[in-house]
Structure 1
């Protein structure tokens, strides 16, 4: 055997062992994630009421640690007390959205007397099935008490003979109000079939979907008629409250929703109640499909919004979702088939829209909060652009984590050297020369983050550009795949991941404009623990956001160039937010995915800049506010106006 054959054999052996190592490393990573989730579930148990009741001494034993952690998070005892006071106030604020929000007699009279140019007729569909008497009368009364009076209530009753009182109650209400249309079904057709039977009774030009055990706010139809007349919307939805017991003021959850966000809807049926849509839109999308029973609403909402001309969100709690032992509001296990139906609905929707056979999986947050794995249509070259000045330790850690952990095969690294001075960094650059994936290019001007990145991108050969800070460390081995699966879609531009500080608290999970003391932009869920589920599970599914941080941002090269790259007038701050706003203005979506995870070693204890740096920051705040005044005044579409802009944790105003 000659030397060449021997080298070939060694090479094959090396490749085989390398592949085995990659498989083992992937298994280790998955095991680590499983361990982390099990620890999270254990923490949930330990923090439960029963646990605390059984071991009250635990509170005392951990008092010091908890106080220390909270002080670390909020900065001081006054900071902690401000947060406590805000939470107490938030509980008080919740009550504003219950019966206290109902119109006064004067307001109700004014709403009844309002004359709209388009006098919309709403057909409210309610399939009945063995509805408890209290739930039924509450539902019927909430429709009868609507301040907007051009409606009809279409009831299709599939109840069995043991629940004959359902028909008796409906007959009584029908005799009192001719707008109530009641029909007894010859048998139970299931939730979709029964709803379609309701539809046959409807004569309105807008259809509303209402569950038989829930309650409508008295002004719900008035607000919807107003929205239709002002915006021309053909699909409308609102915020909602989950309550238990006999009063809507016994609130469990206040769900304040974003404006229409398609990726949120795929990951979680956040729209849910109360949906109303035009008859024309329904005729185009089609009726309810029994194959998706249990999640027939999710399937219908995906189809309707895909064809809607204007989806409008009324940012008011106008629907009250009753939680009881047989309801999905209390326990999805009451209708386990709903999970599989929802997965099929999302899968089939994605297949229809993109032709992609995506995988839809439940997450740790909730069985119907989904992780979606889009298949990669191709594996194009990704150019990772990393600006750097000195900081050899940060850069080497970042580069080493990319090289050692990344499973994506087709990438290059472009380090943009910016006026470094230390010998060790230039020695490190020299050591990088052996790696053909890595290039160091020299930028000699004054520090300007935007200009440095634009300079680096000019050397990029990839179809996609990945802006990355030098103080990052990769956690997720498939981090580039997780970003690319969204960036490859024609409707998406910037995609960002979930970033943690070294102590596992969250540094970045999406950016909201107007958030923070300076009212320019801020990060949501800032400094929350990495295992936190987020508001309504938002830290557990990919979603549309206004902006993502430039510390880790993937975008197609042609989109980067289409909007002129980073605006160099923002030399340090807000260049990434400005960049993302330009992409949105060009018609693209920006996406945050929690399934791409990295450490960001930026100091979270770093205080406000001083002197010249502070003046520069203030100037860039003013520049950002002037440039995007209209967007700031309108409010972030993905951050409900009922939330305070003083906090990153979705505190209610």
Structure 2
């Protein structure tokens, strides 16, 4: 809770006195004493279970209060003559007969009757809890039946005509409105219909009409989730209007034949800014003289607006001309058909005042319909993530840059028109690490014809320009890598890092206990598919007994890539993996669960290529459930998700759009799963290896946090993929889980309090599939 508990702090500072120490003191002072075990462990555990139940089901909170009162009134009787307690209580007296009297009275108490009463009331409460849970599950089952019914209705949308690919791309963008929803099962069905539609021959327009008619009821909830956020959450986010207006922000807008229906709302969004010290710099390249006159006329509405006419300039040159007019300490970039939120500049200035050294500021954004009436498709971004920027221009809007820095790098470059803002960002972020993210929607990107917000096909040169900009960036940075096109996702990019001639040895460390079928599948997939040649497999048998396992071990021993060791102790994830690392010869350790299976042959080459880059700590792949309909199992770990640490994008499809972007983007995270993680042995040892106080769960996240805190970036790399059968190898453990939970809290506490910057505070931490908060 952020405050030291005075009793616990006293114990930490002065240590807990031992029974022997106390009794020596009592005897020296001539004090008679009698001790009892207090708060019996079994009773205490039962009460904790009731507390957790009450926190989930409000209906039993009243009953819990009564039980608590009864428990506190009868603690002594419940403690009578028991063996192990949460603490020990001493009765002290100078007179021996007083102690004997208390001892006699205590030993005469009937613990059994009180214990029976506690079990009885607890049992009744748990029955109530079970009934409530059953009712909830029944409602979910009803929803499942409803989904199935709707799925059957979708079948009459099967179509027999085909439209050209360009129109289909526009249609899929329009469907992002539908896809922005928690009801992912329904959305997934809709997506499948559109994939099928591409191979059929009904016009795209008719598909839209039919689907809108069929799912009108369903999508009302989908659209309303973001509307609910706008209504209930967004108003609470705005910063108070700054009383210090000394910082000037210049907004640069390159215009080109801009229609009044776009320019008037843009002008209004600037004039309505809550912060007054702004400058609007318009460079107009219109070739239509009527448009030129209209824009020039509008620019005279306010003396803070500057206008210059530069007929026929292309986008980068036109933007640079607007930048040349800027007088502000900071420059914000705004497209000629988009809008700023009324508090955008105030939020930027507030961030500058909080962090005067900041050079680059960016915000979250959403899309706005062509008519400007509906906000939709929000994109809530992570804090500065360099490996994400190398895969996609996730920053885009609203971008504000210190004017000296944007001029230092030479502004925008015409050779990269179409991706000129991406090229600018790649160059800017090479010059500074003072980059700040405002997790608020400050920019509304219009879904207008001709804008890449609606369809990349409208600017088919954008993808090529973006690839060229990234190639130029890796040349400047002396990075040995190839920029690989992703045809199905234009303006998304893939770096394939080159491996050195002397590739590092990777030790693949796999603990196991029996389950020979799992181990055989895992090892065979590595041996038969992996194209990276320089690896060894360290197999760690943990109390294996089955004959099938022993036969498999004999078979595997003949392979010179495999080393097999026995570790016959009670299972401890941390200890067994640390032991494996000690036995390994590799420069890098890849910790791998035995319930995994390699999918793409270059998985290890991809992971090693990332891991050898400067500044990289842990690298983790995309893990998929073996049944394709279950989607993603791991695409990064978010601190605070599902109360502790959860797998973001769980059950999403890799290319399914969410309010947090695509699961198939490479990303930086605080942590990655230990089911498959690659790290250099030097960094692993520097971080203290896996913490052996953890038994089953949590040490992988704790290791990642220590590595991050040591100054390394942890990277999720979706271009390496494996199946994960998730926990079938370990099974269910009860002993040790509570200790792991408590230990994890110590590591996670700062991030639970301050938030995980690689996620976004506007997203619901209790939704691993990703969705906005609704209240």
Please report the TM-score for the alignment, with normalisation by the length of structure 2.
0.70
Q: Which of 284, 290, 305 is residue 180 of structure 1 equivalent to?
A: 305
CA distance in 2, matches of 1:180, 1:331: 31
The 1:206/1:352 distance shift into structure 2, 3 A limit, reads same
Matched-pair contact (CA < 8 Å) for 2:694–2:739: no
SS in 2 for 1:429: helix
Structure 2 unaligned regions, length at least 5:
1-188, 198-203
Instruction: Provide the residue aligned with 2:750 in structure 1.
Output: 630
CA distance in 2, matches of 1:58, 1:225: 46
Instruction: Provide the residue aligned with 1:150 in structure 2.
Output: 277
- Aligned pairs for 1:509-548 (under 5 A) are 509-516=635-642, 519-529=643-653, 532=656, 537-548=661-672
CA distance in 2, matches of 1:502, 1:209: 45
Matched-pair contact (CA < 8 Å) for 1:507–1:523: yes
The 1:56/1:170 distance shift into structure 2, 3 A limit, reads closer
SS in 2 for 1:328: coil
Q: Which of 186, 189, 195 is residue 45 of structure 1 equivalent to?
A: 195
Instruction: Provide the residue aligned with 1:645 in structure 2.
Output: 765
SS in 2 for 1:137: helix
Q: Which of 427, 430, 444 is residue 320 of structure 1 equivalent to?
A: 444
Alpha-carbon distance, 1:565 to partner: 0.9
The 1:546/1:207 distance shift into structure 2, 3 A limit, reads same
Deviations 1:306-337 (CA, angstroms, capped at 9, x unpaired): 22231111100010111111211111111111
Alpha-carbon distance, 1:532 to partner: 4.0
Matched-pair contact (CA < 8 Å) for 2:260–2:294: no
Alpha-carbon distance, 1:286 to partner: 2.4
Matched-pair contact (CA < 8 Å) for 1:94–1:254: no
Deviations 1:319-376 (CA, angstroms, capped at 9, x unpaired): 0111111211111111111111111111211222243242231252x20112221212
Instruction: Provide the residue aligned with 2:296 in structure 1.
Output: 170
1:499 aligns with 2:623: yes
CA distance in 2, matches of 1:351, 1:43: 43
Bigger mean CA offset, 550-559 vs 627-636: 627-636
SS in 1 for 2:549: helix
Q: Which of 399, 419, 436 is residue 275 of structure 1 equivalent to?
A: 399
CA distance in 2, matches of 1:442, 1:122: 66
The 1:629/1:496 distance shift into structure 2, 3 A limit, reads same
Which protein shows a greater Rg?
Answer: 2
The 1:210/1:56 distance shift into structure 2, 3 A limit, reads closer
Instruction: Provide the residue aligned with 1:228 in structure 2.
Output: 352
1:371 aligns with 2:494: yes
Instruction: Provide the residue aligned with 1:131 in structure 2.
Output: 258
Matched-pair contact (CA < 8 Å) for 2:259–2:291: no
1:115 aligns with 2:265: no
SS in 1 for 2:663: helix
Deviations 1:474-516 (CA, angstroms, capped at 9, x unpaired): 1111110111111111121111111122212221111111001
Instruction: Provide the residue aligned with 2:505 in structure 1.
Output: 381
The 1:603/1:555 distance shift into structure 2, 3 A limit, reads closer
Alpha-carbon distance, 1:89 to partner: 6.0
Alpha-carbon distance, 1:151 to partner: 1.2
Alpha-carbon distance, 1:51 to partner: 4.8
Matched-pair contact (CA < 8 Å) for 2:363–2:437: yes
CA distance in 1, matches of 2:269, 2:213: 47
SS in 2 for 1:414: strand
1:417 aligns with 2:541: yes
CA distance in 2, matches of 1:177, 1:57: 46
Instruction: Provide the residue aligned with 1:456 in structure 2.
Output: 580
CA distance in 2, matches of 1:135, 1:413: 61
Alpha-carbon distance, 1:55 to partner: 9.6
The 1:171/1:540 distance shift into structure 2, 3 A limit, reads same
Alpha-carbon distance, 1:531 to partner: 6.0
Matched-pair contact (CA < 8 Å) for 1:510–1:524: yes
Matched-pair contact (CA < 8 Å) for 1:369–1:537: no
Structure 1 unaligned regions, length at least 5:
1-38, 60-82
RMSD value over aligned CA atoms? 2.9
- Aligned pairs for 1:286-297 (under 5 A) are 286-297=410-421
Alpha-carbon distance, 1:147 to partner: 1.1
The 1:273/1:472 distance shift into structure 2, 3 A limit, reads same
Please report the TM-score for the alignment, with normalisation by the length of structure 1.
0.82
Matched-pair contact (CA < 8 Å) for 1:102–1:218: no
- Aligned pairs for 1:254-653 (under 5 A) are 254-364=378-488, 366-378=489-501, 379-504=503-628, 505=630, 506-516=632-642, 519-529=643-653, 532=656, 537-602=661-726, 613-614=733-734, 616-653=736-773
SS in 1 for 2:560: coil
Matched-pair contact (CA < 8 Å) for 1:40–1:531: no
Matched-pair contact (CA < 8 Å) for 2:447–2:454: yes
Alpha-carbon distance, 1:129 to partner: 0.7
